[in-house]
Amino acid sequence: MPQPGCLFIGDVTALTGITAGRIRHYEAIGLIAPDHLNSGYRTFRPADVLLLLRIDLLRSLGMGLGAIRACLNDEPETLHAALVQHRLVLDGERRRIERLLEAVDTALGHSDDDPSGSMARLATTQRDSIGMFGRLSRPLSDRAAVAYLKIFSSWELPVPLLFGQMVLPEQITELLERLVMADGHDALFARLRDLATQVVALPPDDDAARRLARGWVAEQLAYPFPAAVSAALGDCVPRLADLTVIQRGLRAWSESLSPQAGRFMHEVEAESERQNASVLGVIVMPRAADGG
């Protein structure tokens, strides 16, 4: 028989609304320690029930069990510190939800006039995507994000949505950050934009793709990028060249534009090799003196 004033688990559930399964879980992880009769039944003293209610109150605030455990020592300063920390977590979650709402509202705001564009807008605004080129491993800094939004906002390459969501390696994020902070980066992106326009307009014949590729490689070798841009590329590109995801991803991305774009990329690689130049996609640079 339980001690006077003690309750069985069913009684506790009825009084508190906390399910028996959750109560057993709290016991299993050591948050509570009810007594057990010889028959195996748990019995709960009033102090046990109050402890359960305290745990449930903190859980209702979204606090994790680890933080709750630290609050069960009845020291006011411990509870205060835990609540201060939890408030920071909740504030971060609030900002995340606000970003989600903004992304959904943006998609909904255009759904009537362009229903098919809603998913594309969600993909590029919600998944740290830089649009046509893929998802980054981490968000860009605010300054870099604004710069790339300005650079790419008017680019309208017909790239399938998949390629705007492929996960790019950390080295790409590092390169993008460095490029947009480098003096003269506008010259690089102006060249790439002009090139993209020409590639999209390529007629369906291999000779046109070959001529454009040879002219592109010759121009990049004859007129190198500004020094700061070249330094960023020189540091980052060699660490990208051997990544399988980059090699295969760039080929697949170009082929998704058109067969001629895929042929152009192949010809850029071949012509760069003939010119003893380093190449990553369409970025062409003189090869280092040591052959690297």
Q: Quick: pLDDT tens for 64-98.
A: 888 888 888 767 788 888 888 888 888 888 887 88
Task: Write the DSSP assignment of the chain as a string of letters.
Answer: -PPTT-B-HHHHHHHH---HHHHHHHHHTTS---EE-TTS-EEB-HHHHHHHHHHHHHHHTT--HHHHHHTTT--HHHHHHHHHHHHHHHHHHHHHHHHHHHHHHHHHHTTTT-TTHHHHHHHHHHTTB-GGG-B-SSPPPHHHHHHHHHHHTT------GGGGTPBPPHHHHHHHHHHHHSTTHHHHHHHHHHHHHHHHT--S-HHHHHHHHHHHHHHHHHSPPPHHHHHHHHHHHHHHTT-HHHHHHHHHHHHHH-HHHHHHHHHHHHHHHHTTEEEETTEEEEPPTT--
Q: What is the mean pLDDT of the chain?
A: 81
Average pLDDT over residues 37-59: 90
More confident residue, 172 or 125: 172
Q: Could you tell me which CATH class the domain 9-72 is placed in?
A: mainly alpha
Residue 292 has what pLDDT? 43
Give the start-to-end residue ranges of the domains of the chain.
Answer: 9-72, 128-286
Average pLDDT over residues 110-138: 59
Decide if pLDDT at 118 tops 80.
no
Residue 32 has what pLDDT? 93
